[in-house]
A = this chain, B = another copy of it.
């Protein structure tokens, strides 16, 4: 008998609800085929809601979210809300409050998708970034002295715990072990050991300690600056990259770009023992709202990662096959309004395939 997955739907702002609707369409199609049932519950979180109610993430909402199996997110961001408010008040608060300590970002170039890199194809761009998602410079720690004077000093602190680094590194090795890829298995720690001698001394020690438990996986290290260079020049060198929160933020966006940009890239904020959240990487694109021209593939890909994380690996693979097929055979281009299909037509194409 199949289990019912309780999924929180947070369409959010701008084009978020449109793309999530397509994702839900595809999830339902996969559910029908695979006899998976869902209970979808909508949550009105986001900038729109904040403007109306003054609420960011209330305790009540958080408590309800904790009863769900997963959160499916569109986009949060509103042109009339000061930058930082929604990010800290909703997105980061969710990650922290639900202890979603892994940010998982597959970087995979699908056939038919254009990468800005020369001479690189789908066989070259296929790796995964495991980003620590609750610590480091994202802790919000720091302060300011003599603000507004010529003597002002602002301090921002990166806080790294052994526990936080270890669970993230372990996740990366476990993920690498079960990852189905043709290359040799390798986990690369991306850091800056030669300068951030406190933070990455901890990371490096824990990394090589955990690595010993996985003798069949190569343990490699690259400075963050070098990592960015190789991502552009030799992305085929990477299999799984593990890194801290800030460096992860940077390299996953670079990764999104080399796999074809915001219309494609998706990720998960994962608490393996709790409630995880899945999202397309793109923003709320307010100026395109309601026009039906935004590519929903990233949102559909987020749904795929969600099913995979929920243990529905077969259904997830159907969605991936649908994405592969539609990207290869149907879509022309990924720029807004240039796909040759509307947002919901793309959803239909994939749902039909599934």
> A residues within 8 Å of B by Cβ?
83-84, 87-88, 92, 115-119, 137-138, 140, 142-144, 148-163, 192-199, 201-202, 205, 224-226, 228-229, 232-233, 246, 249-254, 256-258, 261
Contact = CB atoms under 8 A, between A and B. Distances in A.
Q: Say whether chain A's binding surface is mostly helix, strand, loop, or mixed.
A: mixed
Contact of A254 (B144, B202, B232, B252): B232
A150 B137 contact: no
Nearest to A197: B84
B232 A137 contact: no
A80 to B, nearest CB: 15
Contacts of A83: 193-194
26 contacts: A83-B193, A84-B194, A88-B197, A92-B195, A117-B117, A137-B195, A149-B162, A150-B163, A153-B162, A154-B160, A155-B158, A155-B199, A156-B157, A156-B158, A156-B196, A156-B198, A157-B157, A224-B249, A225-B253, A225-B254, A226-B253, A228-B251, A229-B254, A232-B232, A232-B254, A233-B261
Contacts of A156: 157-158, 160, 196, 198-199
Contact of A229 (B84, B151, B154, B257): B257
Nearest to A143: B198
A313 to B, nearest CB: 30
Contacts of A224: 249-250
Given A193-B84, A261-B233, A201 B162 contact: no
Contact of A155 (B92, B159, B251): B159
Contacts of A142: 157-158, 196-199
Contacts of A205: 148
Nearest to A247: B250
A196 B158 CA distance: 10
Contacts of A149: 162
Contact of A87 (B152, B163, B194, B250): B194
A153 to B, nearest CB: 5
A195 B162 contact: no
A159 B157 CA distance: 9
A256 to B, nearest CB: 7
A100 to B, nearest CB: 16
Contacts of A233: 116, 257, 261
B144 A202 contact: yes
The 3 closest A-B pairs by CB, nearest first: A225-B253, A152-B162, A142-B198
Contacts of A151: 161-163
